[in-house]
Amino acid sequence: MRRTVLIAGLLFAVAFASVASAATIRAGVAVSLKEAMEEVAKGYESKTGDRVEFAFGSSGQVMAQIKGGAPVDLFISAADKQVDELIAAGLADADTRRVVAGNTLVLIVPRDSKDAIDSFDALGKVAVKRLAIGEPKTVPAGQYAQQVLKKLRLTAALSGRVVYGANVRQALDYVIRGEVTAGVVYATDAKQAGADKVNVVAEAPKGSHDPIVYPAVVVKKSRQADAAKRFLDHLASDDARQVLKKHGFTEPRPTATQPAADKP
Amino acid sequence: MSDLWQPLWLSLRIAAVATVLTAVLATPLAYAMARRRFPGRSLLEGFILLPLVLPPTVVGYILIVAFGKGGWFTRLLPEPWDYSIVFRLEGAVLAALVVALPMLYMPAKAAFGSVDRDLEDAARIEGANRLQLFFRVSVPLARRGLVSGLLLAFARALGEFGATMMVFGWQPDNVTLPISIYKAWEEPNLPAAAPAVVALSVISLGLVLAYNVTLARSRD
């Protein structure tokens, strides 16, 4: 009897040990990366056994949660601003910072839109009832959109007609539901929604906004810093890049603060 | 969000319109429900009181599905009229109305229920018709309950947030007081929300105190 208990105990300990060695990382990620990241994580888990759990939201929301002490190991933002803030607050490890993807900004309209909107400039000429963008202070997509509107001198014409989404997907949803005339979102969001829901009208003109980058950084208080770094390295791998490309993301561009992820 | 005036004025206007509509709808409804028994009465009352317990997100969801673009009711409108309550003042008023209605309905029904039937019968004998009876006898006799209910309804309408957030959304420089507070918190910039928090608290406290005073007086 005692021997049985001993063996059972040993087996249990071994089983527990092997489960314990597989890490679970919590990643706070900009919501535009949702489907792509989930797919990358699935492949990563079957390859390494490490699990990645996600919390998605606007980059500003996720950053605020991390600032508030949320247990996040890895942060992936859709703009430099939120990562800069986290590093400045001493909450993120600047040495681990690396850009994992890029994106393009597009103007979209509801699928059955009857308005003659064929370009960003048309927003200043056609009667636009409402334009949906992400809220510029906390949503990078909104920040980029605001830059475009400013550059194209459309701010005055659209004054009082802009509505904010709490994140870029909410702006997208407003367009899908037809509650707004048009919206500015990432090309990947439009692709995710599908041509049966929204029409992509135009890409933002070159130079009309800051380059769209997705910087990732490991959170300092993380208890899974090594596992987080491993996943971050994986994001630079061919497998991960293929998935990102499939979802419509572009190659990470160098930014002022960090060169693009090294090609393996 | 250092501007307090725009959100305050907007919230007051929405709450005022919603309360007036609540009075118009809930008073006759409470009167009828206090007096008659008819099949389905309990179920109807259940629907009136539902917003009291439903999470605001459900209220917002239903409003959008019913009155948003292509909603159950909005799709019935004639073709060129492509209407939706989303982002519109009507939407905010409707959200406030739905949650304020039970706040007037309950005290109003109780008040009408406790009006001395003898007085009403006397008025009938004197030749008062239904309308005269309602406006010149029943309502004045029930006024304490009605006033206290109106105060509560206004307070509730002023504080409406969840459903309003979903229906009215976030329009720069066109936010309600509760929405302005939430958005300041999200930035995060909590200190910016302080004036709005103080304003809302002071006004709501005043309304609740007035409600208490009205009720206390009615016990004389």
Q: How confident is the model at residue A8 (pLDDT cuts 50, 70, 90)?
A: confident
Comparison of pLDDT for B109 and A6, the residue scoring more: B109
Q: Looking at residues B154-158, what average pLDDT do you find?
A: 97
> Is the pLDDT assigned to residue B218 strictly greater than 80?
no
Complex confidence, ipTM: 0.88
Pairing relation of β-strands A24-30 and A92-102?
A: unpaired
**Residue A250, strand partner residues:** A102
Integer distance in angstroms from the first to the last C-alpha of chain A?
A: 55
Q: Which of B183, B185, B189, B190 to mutate to test the interface with A (most CBs of A within 10 A)?
A: B183
> Which of A162, A174, A179 minimises the CB distance to B172?
A162
**Which residue(s) pair with A48 in the sheet?**
none
Q: Are A60 and B187 in contact (CB < 8 Å)?
A: yes
pLDDT tens for each residue of B53-73:
999 999 999 999 999 999 999
Q: Is the Cβ of A129 closer than 8 Å to some Cβ of chain B?
A: no
**C-beta of residue A82 within 8 angstroms of C-beta of residue A59:** yes
pLDDT score recorded for residue B117: 85
B31-55 tens-digit pLDDT? 999 988 888 899 999 999 999 999 9
- Collapsed DSSP state (helix, strand, coil) of residue A155: coil
User: What is the 3-class SS of B71-110, one letter each residue?
Assistant: CCCHHHCCCCCCCCCCCCHHHHHHHHHHHHHHHHHHHHHH
Question: Searching chain A, which residue's CA lies closest to the CA of residue B67?
Answer: A179
The answer, for B65 touching chain A at a CB cutoff of 8 Å, is no
Test the A interface: residue of B65, B171, B175, B179 with most A CBs within 10 Å: B171
Quick check: B57 contacting A, CB < 8 Å? no
Residue B153: which residues within 8 A CB-CB, separation 6 or more?
B18, B19, B22, B23, B26, B100, B101, B103, B104
Q: What are phi and psi of B132, to 5 degrees?
A: -65, -40
Give the type of residue at B148. S
Average pLDDT of chain A is 91
Closest CA in chain A for residue B85: A179
Reference A244, options A213, A208, A199, A211; nearest CA is: A213
Q: What is the model's pLDDT at position A17? A: 56
**Beta strands A198-203 and A131-134, pairing class:** unpaired
> pLDDT tens-digit profile of A148-202?
999 999 999 999 999 999 999 999 999 999 999 999 999 999 999 999 999 999 9
pLDDT of residue B10: 97
Decide if A172 contacts A193 (C-beta within 8 A).
Answer: yes
Q: Which residue has the tokens 């079957």?
A: A46
- Give tens-digit pLDDT for A83-106: 999 999 999 999 999 999 999 999
Q: Which residues pair with residue A110 across a beta bridge?
A: A198
Q: Is A60's CB within 8 Å of B84's CB? A: no
d(CA B30, CA A102): 60
B170/A61 touch (CB, cutoff 8 Å), yes or no: no
A-B contacts (CB, under 8 Å): 43
pLDDT at residue B129 greater than cutoff 50 = yes
List the single best residue of A179, A180, A181, A198 to mutate versus B (max B Cβ within 10 A): A179
From B70, B87, B187, residue closest to A138, measured CB to CB: B187
Q: Is residue A211 packed enough to be buried (19+ CB in 10 Å), middle (13-18) or exposed (0-12)?
A: middle
Torsion of CA A157, A163, A169, A172, to 10 degrees: -50
**With an 8 Å Cβ cutoff, are B171 and A67 in contact?**
no
**A67 in contact with B, Cβ within 8 Å:** yes
Tell me how close the Cα of B190 comes to any Cα of chain A, in angstroms.
12
Asked if B186 lies within 8 A of A60 by C-beta distance, the reply is: yes
Residue B25: predicted pLDDT? 96
Q: What is the mean pLDDT of residues A201-226?
A: 95
Given the structure tokens 């992936």, which residue do they identify? A76
Closest Cα of chain A to B182: distance in Å?
11
Q: Which residue of chain B has the CA closest to A62?
A: B186
Query: Which residue, among B6, B69, B179, would best test binding to A if mutated, counting the most A CBs under 10 Å from its CB?
Result: B69
A 148-187: CB under 8 A from B: 160, 162-166, 174, 177-180
Q: Cβ of B170 and A164 within 8 Å?
A: yes
- Does the beta carbon of B187 lie under 8 angstroms from any beta carbon of chain A? yes
List CB contacts of B141: < 8 A, sequence separation 6 or more: B115, B116, B119
Q: Does residue B170 belong to the interface with chain A, where contact is any CB pair within 8 Å?
A: yes
Angle between helices B89-113 and B41-53 (to 10 degrees): 120
B132 touches A: beta carbon within 8 Å? no
What chain A residue is nearest to B168 in terms of C-alpha separation? A163
Residues of B in contact with A130 (CB under 8 A): 87
Query: How close, in Å, is residue A63 to chain B by CA atoms?
Result: 10
